[in-house]
Amino acid sequence: MSHDLLIRDVRPMGGAPVDILVKDGRIAAIGKSDAAGTEILEGGGRLAIPGLVEAHAHLDKTLWGMDWYRNEVGPSLRDKIDNERRSKRTLGIDPARQSARQVVLSVGHGTTHIRTHVDVDTEMGVEAIEGVMATRAALADLIDMQLVAFPQSGLLVHPGTHELLDRAMAMGADVVGGLDPCGIDRDPKGHLDVVFGLAQKHGRGVDIHLHEPGEMGAFSMELIIERTRALGMQGQVVISHAFCLGMPDPAAVDRLIADLADARIAIMTTGPASRPAPPVLKLHKAGVVVGSGSDGIRDTWGPYGNADMLERAMFVGLRNNLRRDDEVEQALAVCTTGGAAMMGITDYGLRIGAPADMVLLPGTCLTEAVVSRPRDRIVVKRGTVVARDGEAFHQVN
């Protein structure tokens, strides 16, 4: 699907108008270009930004496109986890179909890369991994995708999950997932030893959901930092959510952030309105990589979300009270370069040699794009226009 294209009159990151020449799916030149015979895409003065990065999704269990699910779930985390595990069968949530639906939705908004956490548990086994891998293969021209083998129901509390995660990694999952070592498994050492053990065995990175707030979360975070250093896994570990970094103890938070920077551990934040949240500006200042993602959208956990990472940049901005233009630009960077760095993607960005993955959209500047979230977007994946006006050209039943 990769090919040649001359993208005319666009403003990379809101700068001066240029042409971008794409050869064989990669950016070959940026500037005034005269490539006779090349197919032309008129940018009409649009902004150009690199493809949006959905660095934390749950593609296998969205209800997008299914009948409306009336949520009457109880308040605890356990209620939601147990309800979801039951609902997968009763509602018929097919991981292959649902992940494809969400990918197509994401591409419509301008996402070119997705990291998705895929449930692995003793009820469904690795069925969801198989389903999402089928989607990855089927939609490879639309999206670059990483799978995290994710023990959503807990790891040690459901014996057999360790072996299933091992199998998922052997099948081709890219990253070992983990979840609230204290809160869910009630055995932080045991949980993290399994997660990091699998990462070592398969030579892969780690991405751990850490919802634990305050001191408990800080303790789990310290255990993760210790293991990252001891195993030489700097640059291969992500802590998702990291609510503990929003705790009201600046000295403790500063110490954790310094250690995260030193261990080159990246943070994923959705910019959650109702929870303590990692401070993005402070993390950036310390040199910590920050990515973002939609988390679950329209699933049995809650009805919100539309997989639009430009809207997500707005949420990150609102959550962090980013008002100045230079601050809102940092929120957008979280949803582009930050997510790419978090995912370890080096082949990314509006630069010569990188794949031509980009979004063209109206607006005078990047901040206006974030706050307006225009529907008028042209999405380019490896030099091919794959979506316009919010709709990917690919259909899923």
Q: Which residues bind a copy of itself (CB under 8 A)?
A: 67-68, 70-73, 271-275, 298, 301-306, 314-315, 317-321, 323-326, 328, 364-365, 367-368, 370-372
Q: Give dist(CA 334, CA 317) in Å, integer.
A: 10
Neighbours of 390 (CB within 10 A): 16
What tokens appear for 385 in the block? 């226009």
**Cα–Cα–Cα angle for 183, 244, 118, nearest 5°?**
55
Q: Give dist(CA 55, CA 312) in Å, integer.
A: 11
Minimum CB distance to a copy of itself smaller for 162 or for 373: 373
Smallest distance, a copy of itself to C-beta of residue 246, A? 11
Smallest distance, a copy of itself to C-beta of residue 374, A? 11
Q: Give dist(CA 359, CA 329) in Å, integer.
A: 16
Minimum CB distance to a copy of itself smaller for 150 or for 301: 301
278 in the Ramachandran plot: left (φ > 0), alpha (ψ -120 to 50) or beta? Answer: beta
Minimum CB distance to a copy of itself smaller for 205 or for 271: 271
Closest CA to 361 of 104, 7, 98, 125: 7
Minimum CB distance to a copy of itself smaller for 298 or for 381: 298
Q: Give dist(CA 198, CA 207) in Å, integer.
A: 12
What tokens appear for 84 in the block? 């979801």
Minimum CB distance to a copy of itself smaller for 146 or for 269: 269
Smallest distance, a copy of itself to C-beta of residue 369, A? 10
Minimum CB distance to a copy of itself smaller for 75 or for 159: 75
Smallest distance, a copy of itself to C-beta of residue 162, A? 31
Q: What is the helix, strand, coil percentage profile of the chain, to 5? A: 35, 25, 40
Smallest distance, a copy of itself to C-beta of residue 102, A? 15
Smallest distance, a copy of itself to C-beta of residue 269, A? 12
